[in-house]
Structure 1
Amino acid sequence: MKTLHLEFLIANHLKNAILKNKAFYFITLFIGALLLYAAFSGWENYTSQNETSEKYQHESREDWLSNPDKNPHRMAHYGNFAFRKSSSLSVFEFGMEPFFGNAIFLEAHKQNTANFSEAGFSNSMLRFGEISIAMVLQILLPLLIFFIGFNSVAAERENGTLKLLFSQGINWKQLLIGKILGVVSVIMLLFIPTLLVLVLLWLFLQNFTISVDEMLKMLLFIAFHFIYLIFFCAIAVLVSAASKTSKKALISLIGIWLVFTIILPRTTQAIGAYIYEAPSKIRFNSDIEKDILKQGDSHNPNDLHYKAIKDSLLTLYKVDSVQQLPFNYSGFIMTEGEKISSKIYNQHLEILLKVYEKQNRFSKTVSFFNPYIAIKNLSMGLSTTDYDSHIDFQKQAEDYRYTMAQKMNALQIKYISNKKPAATDKPLAISKEHWADLEEFHYEPKDIRDVLKSEIISIISIILWISLLFVLLRIAAKNLKAI
C-alpha cells in the first residue's frame, strides 16, 4: 500500500506540473476543437449517406415494382440497385469508405463495381485523410502524449532532483510507474470527455436502440484505443528516462511518432502493392470477356456451345424445333449463359481478391512493428469501414444480382411462349405482379465474430506490444542510471 501511495504521489506531482503549463491548454483546446469538428463531420457523413442510401434504395424498389407488364428478360436487363448503409461506428472511423462506392447497378450478364465514392467527387485534399475522431485518437493524441511526457524523467535528471528522489527510498520501478500514471491521468482529462460525447452521439443516432453486436463492437473500440494510448504514455516516459536531456527525448519521440504514424503506413502500402501487383480494371474486365467468349455467346443462336445445347434438347424432347419445346428455350439458354458468365467472373474475382488479400496481409504483418497500423486496421474492422467489409458488400450484391437474373429467366421459361408473335400482336409479356417476387436488397454487415476473425493479426500484435512494454519496464527499472 505504501509503494502504491508513492506511485500516486509521483503521478499527482507530474499531473500538477503539466497542468501549470499554459502551452498544454492551447494544444488541448486545439485538439478539443478538432474532436468537436470530427464528431460533427462524422455525424453529417453518417446521416447524409444513410438518408441518401435509404432514399434511393426505396426509389429503386419503387421503380422496379412500377414497371408495366413486359418480358422478364427485359426486366433482367432493366436492372436494380444495391446500396450500402454506413454502420453506426463509421461516425468515428471513416476508414476506407470515402474511397469505395456505396452503390452498385445490378443487371443481367454483367457484374459492375461499386460507384459514387466520396473521393470521386472530392478534390485531391481527401488523399491526406479526413479528420475523424479515430484519426485524432490514433495520431494527434499520441503526439500530445509525447509533448507532455518528453521531460517527465529527463527534466528530473537535468535539474538534479533524480538523485534526491532515489535518496528518499524511491526506486526506478516506482518512479516509472508513477510517471506513466501521471501522463495517463492528464490524457484521461481529454479522453474521457471524448468518450462521453462519442457514446452519446452514437446512441442518439440510433434512437438509443442498439443490438448486442453493436454494443460489443463499441466496447472493443473504446478498450483497444484506451490500451493504445496507455502504450504511448509508457513509451514517452521510457524514452524520457533513457535520454540524457529533455531535448534529446523530444527529438527521439517525434521521430518515433513520424515513423509510426506517417512513414511506415505509407511505405507499407507502397511496398505491398509493388510486391503483389494487381491487374488494372481494364485488364481484369478484358480477361473476363475473353473467357466468356471462349465458352460461347448466349445471345448468338449460331454459337457452337449453345447450338449443341439446343440439339441435345431437341433430341431429348423428340421435337423438330425449339418452338415445340414445353418451355421457353430462350429463357433456358439465358439461364445457362448466366451460370457460365457468373462462374467465370467469380473465378477471376477470387484470383484478384487473393492478390489484394496478400497486400493486406503484408500490411497487417507490419503491425508487429507498428502499433498504429494494428489499431487502425482493428478500428476500421470494428467500424465495418475496412476493405473486407467493402468486398463483403460486393459479394452480397452479386448474390442478389444473380438471384434477380435467374428469377427473371425462370419466369421467362415458365410463362413466355416459344412462338414469336406476329408483327401486329403485342410483345410477349407477363403480369407486373411477378416483379414483387424479388425481395428488396438489404446489406447485412459483418458481425463481431467475423470482425475479430479477420483482424486476429492486429489483436495479437496489440497484445505483443503490451507484453513488450512490460518487458521494457522491467529492463529499464534494473538498468537505468540516475546520471
Structure 2
Amino acid sequence: MNILLRIAREEWRYLFRDRAAVLSLALLTLLTLLAALNAYEHQRNANAQRAHYQARANQEFEAQPDRHPHRVVHYGHFLFRPLNSLAAFDPGIDGYTGNSLYLEGHRQNSANFGDVRQHSLLLRFGQLTPAFVLQVLAPLLLVFFGHAIVARERESGTMRILLAQGLRSRQLVMGKFLALAGFAGLALAPALLGLAWLAAAGQASWSMALLLAAGYAGWLLLWTTIVVLASTLAARGRDALLVLLTAWAVTVIMMPRWAPDVANTAVALPTRFEDNINVQRDYLALGDSHNPNDPKFAAFREKLLARYGVSRVEDLPVNYKGLVGMEGERQSSALFNRYADESFGRQERQNAVVDAFGWLSPTLALRRLSMTAAGTDLSAYRSFLEQGERYRYDLVQGLNRLQVDEVRYADDTNPNKENRVSSTHWKAFPEFRYAGPQTGETLRRAAPAALVLLLWLVVLGGLTWAMAGRLGRSVR
C-alpha cells in the first residue's frame, strides 16, 4: 500500500503542477456550486410560488357562497405539485411535465404548465444542475487530464526503468488509478457537501441523499477505470485521448438522445389529441349523467327502485338525480383511469426500452438512478396525478352525495326552484396533501440501474486488473 500511495502522491504532484488541470478543477468546482445554488434557488422559489397558489385556490374554493352542489362540481379546484428538495440536484423530467392540475367533475385532466413551455427552448438542451455537471462535464475533465496517466510512462521510457527496479506493473497502474480517483473525488466533493447539507437540514432524507452520493461516486469511479484502462492499453497518450473522447461522445451525448427515439419507434404513444378523441367517444357512450331520464341509466334506475321497494323515482327517499350523477361519475372515472393506465403503461414500456440501453451506455443507468432518488422520474409524476385523481373523485362524489341528501328530487327537477345548500359543507372538505414516494419503493425502483452501474464497474475493473498484469510483459 505504501508503494501505491507513493505513486499516487507523485502523480498528484504532476497533476497539480499542470496549471490547466488545477484551473479546470477549480472551474468545475465553481460551476458545480453555481449550478447547485441556482437550482436550489429555482426549486425554493417554485415551491414557494406553488404553495402560495395552492393556498389561494383552497381559499377561493372554500369562499364559494351557498349554491347547488353540482355548481361546485363544475366550479372546480386546482392542485399544485410540490417539488422534492432533491429536484435541485436533478430535476429529471419535471421541466417537461406539468405542475398544476385542474379538478372538475366528468373529466380527468393532465398536469399543465411545464417549465419547458414557459421558458426558453434552451431548457430542452439541459439545465445547469449538479447532475448535469457530474454526468457530462466531470468525465470529460477526467479524460483530458488522465488519458496519458499510464501511457506517458511508456512514451517517456520511465516505465521500463521502474519495472527494472522491481516495481510490479499492477502496482504502477493501481497507484495511477488511486491518484485519478482522488482527482475525481475533488470534482465530486461540492455535490456531496450539497447533498449532506440538504439531508442535515431535514429537507431531504439521508437514504436518498446517500443513494445519490453512491450513484455519482460509482459513476466517476467508473470513468476513472475507463480512463486508466484506455491509457494502459494505448501505445501513446494521444491514442488514448482519441478513444476516450469517442467513448464519451457516444455514451454520454449520443446514446442518451438516440435511445428515446428507438423507444418511440418500438412503442408507439398516441398523441394527446388522439387520446382525447377516443376518451370523448367512449365517454359519450356511457350516457348523460346530467339527464336522469337517459336510457343508458335505465338498468341502474330499475335496480335502485327494486332496492328501495318503490315504483317511481319520485318516491325514493333520496334524490335520484344526485344518484345518477354519482353513478355517472363512477363510470366515467373508471373509463378515465383505464385510459390513463394504458398511457402510463406505454410510457413504462418505452422506459424499459431505454433502460435496456444502459447495458451499452452506463449514462442511462445513472440517469435512471439519479431521477429515481431525486423523486423526479415518471413514477413520481404518475403518483402525483393518481393522488390528484383520487382527491378529485372523492371531492366530486362528496358533492354529489350532498345533492343526494340535501336537495329534494322534486325541487331539483323544478327549473324555477333555487336549490342552494350551505357553504359550510365545502369548507369541511379536507385539503389535498401530496405524499412523496416511500423509501423502500424508491430503492426497489433504483436497484436495476444500480446493478447495471455495478456490473459495468466490476467488468471494467477486472479488465483493468488483467491488462495491468500484462503491461509488464509487453514493455519487456
Please tell me the TM-score bracket, short chain as reference.
over 0.9
2:149·2:228 contact (CA, 8 Å) conserved in 1?
Answer: yes
The one-letter amino acid paired with 2:124 is: R
| Aligned mates of 1:124, 1:55 — CA distance in 2 | 27
Deviates more, 1:349-358 or 1:288-297: 288-297
* 1:369 counterpart residue number: 360
Q: Does 1:111 align with 2:108?
A: yes
1:382·1:448 contact (CA, 8 Å) conserved in 2?
Answer: no
* 1:443 counterpart residue number: 434
2:225·2:461 contact (CA, 8 Å) conserved in 1?
Answer: no
Deviations 1:302-328 (A, max 9, x none): 422113333443455454543332101
1:73 partner SS? helix
Deviations 1:95-116 (A, max 9, x none): 1111111110011110000011
* 1:406 counterpart residue number: 397
Deviations 1:412-456 (A, max 9, x none): 11111111376765x112111111332101111112211122222
* 1:209 counterpart residue number: 202
Q: Does 1:32 align with 2:29?
A: yes
Deviations 1:194-215 (A, max 9, x none): 4224433x258xxx2357xx11
Quote how far apart the aligned CAs of 1:166 are: 0.9
The one-letter amino acid paired with 2:83 is: S
Point out where structure 2 has 5 or more consecutive residues left out of the alignment: none
| Aligned mates of 1:197, 1:455 — CA distance in 2 | 21
Q: Does 1:144 align with 2:141?
A: yes
2:391·2:432 contact (CA, 8 Å) conserved in 1?
Answer: yes
* 1:351 counterpart residue number: 342
1:82 partner SS? strand
| Aligned mates of 2:416, 2:146 — CA distance in 1 | 87
Question: Which of 358, 364, 386 is the equivalent residue of 1:395?
Answer: 386
| Aligned mates of 1:300, 1:332 — CA distance in 2 | 11
1:173·1:473 contact (CA, 8 Å) conserved in 2?
Answer: no
| Aligned mates of 1:89, 1:194 — CA distance in 2 | 12
Question: Which of 213, 220, 232 is the equivalent residue of 2:223?
Answer: 232
* 1:95 counterpart residue number: 92
The one-letter amino acid paired with 1:477 is: A
| Aligned mates of 2:358, 2:306 — CA distance in 1 | 62
* 2:454 counterpart residue number: 463
Q: Does 1:341 align with 2:332?
A: yes
2:305·2:312 contact (CA, 8 Å) conserved in 1?
Answer: yes
Point out where structure 1 has 5 or more consecutive residues left out of the alignment: none
1:93·1:385 contact (CA, 8 Å) conserved in 2?
Answer: yes
| Aligned mates of 2:226, 2:305 — CA distance in 1 | 78
| Aligned mates of 2:23, 2:323 — CA distance in 1 | 72
Quote how far apart the aligned CAs of 1:40 are: 2.0
| Aligned mates of 1:250, 1:210 — CA distance in 2 | 41
| Aligned mates of 1:402, 1:309 — CA distance in 2 | 20
Deviations 1:160-212 (A, max 9, x none): 11111111112221111111101112222332244224433x258xxx2357x
| Aligned mates of 2:24, 2:279 — CA distance in 1 | 54
| Aligned mates of 1:172, 1:95 — CA distance in 2 | 43
Q: Does 1:54 align with 2:45?
A: no
Deviations 1:63-85 (A, max 9, x none): 11111111111111111111111
Residue 35 to residue 16, structure 1, CA distance change in 2 (3 Å): same
| Aligned mates of 1:161, 1:268 — CA distance in 2 | 44
Residue 190 to residue 312, structure 1, CA distance change in 2 (3 Å): closer
* 2:128 counterpart residue number: 131
| Aligned mates of 1:20, 1:447 — CA distance in 2 | 48
- Aligned length, in residue pairs: 473
Q: Does 1:189 align with 2:186?
A: yes
Equivalent positions of 1:266-415 (< 5 A) are 266-314=257-305, 316-317=307-308, 319=310, 321-415=312-406
| Aligned mates of 2:181, 2:117 — CA distance in 1 | 41
Runs of 4+ in structure 1 off by over 6 angstroms are 421-424
Aligned-pair identity (%): 31
Question: Which of 173, 176, 196 is the equivalent residue of 1:199?
Answer: 196
1:99 partner SS? coil
1:108 partner SS? coil
Task: Give TM-score scaled by structure 2 length.
Answer: 0.95
2:326·2:400 contact (CA, 8 Å) conserved in 1?
Answer: yes
2:212·2:373 contact (CA, 8 Å) conserved in 1?
Answer: yes
Residue 74 to residue 147, structure 1, CA distance change in 2 (3 Å): same
1:365·1:457 contact (CA, 8 Å) conserved in 2?
Answer: no
| Aligned mates of 1:414, 1:310 — CA distance in 2 | 17
| Aligned mates of 1:470, 1:254 — CA distance in 2 | 20
2:410 partner SS? coil
| Aligned mates of 1:37, 1:335 — CA distance in 2 | 53
Quote how far apart the aligned CAs of 1:263 are: 0.7
* 1:453 counterpart residue number: 444
Deviations 1:311-350 (A, max 9, x none): 4434554545433321011110010001110111111222
Q: Does 1:6 align with 2:3?
A: yes
* 1:246 counterpart residue number: 237
The one-letter amino acid paired with 2:100 is: A
Deviates more, 1:288-297 or 1:137-146: 288-297
| Aligned mates of 2:415, 2:99 — CA distance in 1 | 43
2:101 partner SS? strand
1:151·1:246 contact (CA, 8 Å) conserved in 2?
Answer: yes
